[in-house]
Amino acid sequence: MTAIVDCKGITKHYRQGSIDVPALRGVDLAIEQGDFASLAGPSGSGKTTLLNIVGGLDRPTDGTISIDGQDLTALDNEDLADLRLRKIGFVFQAYNLIPVLSAVENVEFTLQLMDVPAAERRERAKEMLQQVGLESMENRRPSRLSGGQQQRVAVARALASRPSIVLADEPTANLDTQTAEDLIALMSRLNERYGVTFLMATHDDRVISRTRRHIVIADGRVASDERRTLEMAG
């Protein structure tokens, strides 16, 4: 198996005035191609901090992190932003769609930043919306979509660049039970059909029970990491 993400000895300390807050205390973690993994742990255990570092949104205090064999810590901010754009898809708790853009324009946005030609851009964005079952809503703005639909647009947007990995931070936290189950079933399908690699920070049992790899972080360290086979569902 090929490691897409390889974290070695990641530490992260935040400074709050004169106080030093250790958020990560030495994380060793490799995410393999095709993983469908949950990252669980109590609030404040460092899940968001780790995802932000893996996704190149933040830098570790110490340790190394590589994506597809490329060392992120060696990149300057510009190259890091470029790698983030091409290799990482993000899904956030609050959807984070651009309110003035339609669903299809939101999905296209990343492709625009990547200088994908306009016609191809639109075609790929439509294809992604189709994959999340929203082809009939492509012209709607986020305010005219339900929370679950907005999150599906966010998943389509995350996939549009054909990233090496999709990082999701509490993706179901704002969704009711049925909608959360639909979303996790959708992500699971994308993983199985297209081999999209997912790492999802969550303390939602609805998500955890559907993942094939379950990582638990506690006090800024990996406390357990298990793989399991699931009964086919959804």
Ligand X SMILES: Nc1ncnc2c1ncn2[C@@H]1O[C@H](COP(=O)(O)OP(=O)(O)O)[C@@H](O)[C@H]1O
- Give residues in contact with ligand X (CB under 6 A): 14, 16, 21, 23, 41, 43-49
Structure tokens at 78: 């510009």
Residues in 211-230 that interact with Mg ion by CB under 5 A: none
Least CB distance from residue 201 to Mg ion, whole Å?
A: 6
Binds 195, which of ligand X, Mg ion, none (CB < 5 to 8 A, cut-off by type)?
none
- Going by their DSSP bridges, the two strands 165-169 and 198-201 should be labelled as parallel
Minimum distance between the CB of residue 51 and ligand X, rounded to whole angstroms? 8
- Closest contact distance (angstroms) between CB of 49 and Mg ion is 8
Strand 62-67 versus strand 3-16 pairing type: antiparallel
User: Nearer to ligand X by C-beta: 44 or 234?
Assistant: 44
Query: Smaller CB distance to ligand X: residue 41 or 163?
Result: 41
Identify what 21 binds: ligand X, Mg ion, none; CB under 5 to 8 Å per kind.
ligand X
Residue 47 CB, shortest distance to Mg ion, in Å, is 5
Which of 48, 191 has the CB closer to Mg ion? 48
Closest-approach residue to Mg ion (CB): 48
Neighbour tally for 89: CB within 10 Å: 26
* Cα distance between residue 95 and residue 189, in whole Å: 20
Within the chain, residue ranges assigned H as helices are 47-54, 77-87, 103-113, 118-131, 147-160, 177-194, 205-208
CB of 135 to ligand X, least distance (A): 34
Q: Which of 124, 208, 220, 128 is nearest to 172 (CA)?
A: 208
Q: Which residue is listed with tokens 């082809």?
A: 135
Phi, psi of 11 (to 5 degrees): -120, 155
Residue with Cβ nearer ligand X (18 or 43): 43
Q: How far is the CB of 191 from ligand X (least distance, A)?
A: 22
Beta carbon nearer to Mg ion, 105 or 170: 170
> Among Mg ion, ligand X, none, what does residue 77 contact (CB within 5–8 Å per kind)?
none
Q: Looking only at residues 19 through 48 of this chain, which bind Mg ion when binding is defined by CB under 5 A?
A: 47-48
Spacing of C-alpha 145 from chain mean position: 21
Residue 175: name the closest of 203, 205, 147 by CA.
147
Which residues of the chain form contacts with Mg ion (CB under 5 A)?
A: 47-48
